[in-house]
Chain A
């Protein structure tokens, strides 16, 4: 039934937004991190979304191939921020260079909070869609119960 596929579409949107929220929380948590395994300060990460098919079982994929598709969404890549780190003069810091400057992540709290809010709103929109579809499904099941 097509309505159940709709639930997976909404679920794909929810998981994509949740992943983005995780990245944003990671950015905020690492706003002062000067050491990373790759060397240098932490760089901001952001998710890039891409449309994708939500269905895995063969029957569904087959049906989808016959029928024009309705895509879900997935995170296609995680972008590393290319902005230069901010230098702060902290001569006592263990990561200071020879002039006494420490490279800190180029962190903008406003940017993170705005993105976080957008992610949360979009997540909620997907939840609403899933709830509405669930209501439609239960109404169809109700037909059997008259």
Chain B
């Protein structure tokens, strides 16, 4: 239980929020002509953020690779976005639960003399 773990969890959640925003944006633009799906390289961004103590996640946005472009120049794959949507939500759930447990441990440590 240390500060570093807490800050890493916070960065992980920030990164998930940023990615979820891109997913929502891709879904909103699923029928916009010429739109290309955006994503972040999650592993890479998390590792580079974890190495530094950045106050907030500012990940690099890239175009999602390996998607097939339709006739109107749009390449959003709804299946992919839906999978990412639930994956991000589950990861977020996991980390927030972890964080909650950590807070509970702090609380118990503070309250133990009583």
A145 to B23, CA, bound (A): 28
Q: Which residues of A contact B82 (CB under 8 A)?
A: 125, 128
Chain A binding site: helix, strand, loop or mixed by DSSP?
A: helix
Given A128-B82, A146-B107 in contact, is the A9-B33 Cβ separation under 8 Å?
no
Q: Which residues of A contact B104 (CB under 8 A)?
A: 146
Given A51-B32, A128-B85 in contact, is the A70-B21 Cβ separation under 8 Å?
yes
Asked if A126 is at the interface (CB within 8 A of a chain B CB), the reply is yes
Task: Tell me the number of A-to-B contacts counted with CB atoms below 8 Å.
Answer: 104
Closest Cβ–Cβ distance, residue B56 to chain A (whole Å): 9
Closest Cβ–Cβ distance, residue A98 to chain B (whole Å): 42
Contact among A2, A125, A126, A128 for B17, CB-based, below 8 A: A2
Q: Which residues of A contact B16 (CB under 8 A)?
A: 136
Asked if B14 is at the interface (CB within 8 A of a chain A CB), the reply is yes
Asked if B48 is at the interface (CB within 8 A of a chain A CB), the reply is no
Q: Which residues of A contact B32 (CB under 8 A)?
A: 49-51, 73
A146 to B97, CA, bound (A): 10
Closest Cβ–Cβ distance, residue A122 to chain B (whole Å): 5
A143 close to B100 (CB less than 8 A)? yes
Chain B binding site: helix, strand, loop or mixed by DSSP?
A: helix
A51 close to B35 (CB less than 8 A)? yes
From B14, B17, B25, B82, residue with most partner A Cβ within 10 Å? B25
A142 to B97, CA, bound (A): 9
Q: Which residues of A contact B20 (CB under 8 A)?
A: 3, 6, 132-133, 136
Asked if A12 is at the interface (CB within 8 A of a chain B CB), the reply is yes
User: From residue 87 to 146 of chain A, which have CB atoms closer than 8 A to chain B?
Assistant: 118, 122, 125-126, 128-130, 132-133, 135-136, 139-140, 142-143, 146
B29 close to A71 (CB less than 8 A)? yes
Asked if B7 is at the interface (CB within 8 A of a chain A CB), the reply is no
A1 close to B93 (CB less than 8 A)? no
Q: B residues within 8 Å of A by Cβ?
A: 13-14, 16-18, 20-25, 27-33, 35, 38, 58, 60-61, 78, 81-82, 85-86, 88-89, 92-93, 96, 99-100, 103-104, 107
**17 A–B contacts from the bound complex (CB under 8 Å):** A1-B17, A2-B17, A3-B20, A12-B28, A13-B24, A49-B32, A70-B21, A70-B24, A72-B29, A126-B27, A126-B28, A128-B82, A129-B24, A133-B20, A136-B17, A136-B88, A139-B96
